Amino acid sequence: MSKDYGQFCGLAKAAWVLGERWALLLVRDLSIAPRRFKDLHEGLPGIPTNVLTTRLRELETAGVAERQVVETPQRGVVYQLTEYGHQLQPIVDALGLWGAQRMSSPAPNDVVTSASLAAALRSAYQPGALDDQVTYLVHAGPATAWVQADNSSIEVGTQRPGPAPGATIHAGPEIRLLLAGTLTAAEALESGAIEVEGPPDSIATFCRVFHVPLENPELNNDSSYRIEG
């Protein structure tokens, strides 16, 4: 775990717990749903298994995560956030939203995972923008996330929920510009950058409900990248 900063300070304590590489991304993924070790490893391309083991142990020691034995669909151990750990969700979402302001398109080696897509949509949610509940299934390459939202709350996940979604969106890297508002729904549909299965107005509603500001569209503007689920 990160070296103690020697300060009686809440920020120093948070950095001590979360300052090591991959720690925040583990919290992000666990904030979406409890996960097995194998799921966490596959969902974080590039993390060595020994580093994942160490980070999970550190999060457990800090009281942020815990292990639980589950019976279904098959018996095994999952990692999940504790009540203390769940307090990090709005903080992680806010950090993600802050970082995304300078992301217009992925760098060559960047990936988009299902958990990162779900977390991005959760952080992009705009309360007060809906009259009725909506459910979207969003595909960005192999990455998939679903969202269910109403006027005051949102749920996200990576596994498709039981009820059929109100609309299904198929997108590529252009979804970032759609969320920023620099690409309109009409432009996205006309160009073929976005495809939608559902009511004609569902994409316009999506753009109204989910928004991630873009500080400068020219920053990090490299469209060559890969997406992994």
Q: What is the CATH number of the domain that holds 59?
A: 1.10.10.10
pLDDT for 1: 62
User: Is 107 in the same domain as 201?
Assistant: yes
CATH code, domain carrying 124: 3.30.1050.10
Instruction: State how far the Cα of 149 lies from the Cα of 157, in Å rounded to an integer.
Output: 12
- Return the number of other C-beta atoms located less than 10 Å from residue 61's C-beta: 11
pLDDT for 200: 86
Instruction: State how far the Cα of 49 lies from the Cα of 43, in Å rounded to an integer.
Output: 12
Q: Which domain holds residue 192?
A: 102-209
pTM of the model: 0.91
User: Is 21 in the same domain as 67?
Assistant: yes
Evaluate whether 202 touches 196 at the Cβ level (below 8 Å): yes
User: Is 165 in the same domain as 137?
Assistant: yes
Per residue of the chain (229 residues), what is the pLDDT tens digit?
Answer: 657 899 999 999 999 999 999 999 999 999 999 999 999 999 999 999 999 999 999 999 999 999 999 887 778 999 999 999 999 999 999 999 999 999 988 888 899 999 999 999 999 999 999 989 999 999 998 899 999 999 999 999 998 776 789 999 999 988 999 999 999 999 999 999 999 999 989 999 999 999 999 987 565 444 433 444 4
Say how many domains are in the chain: 2
User: Is 80 in the same domain as 112?
Assistant: no
Q: Is residue 220 part of a domain?
A: no
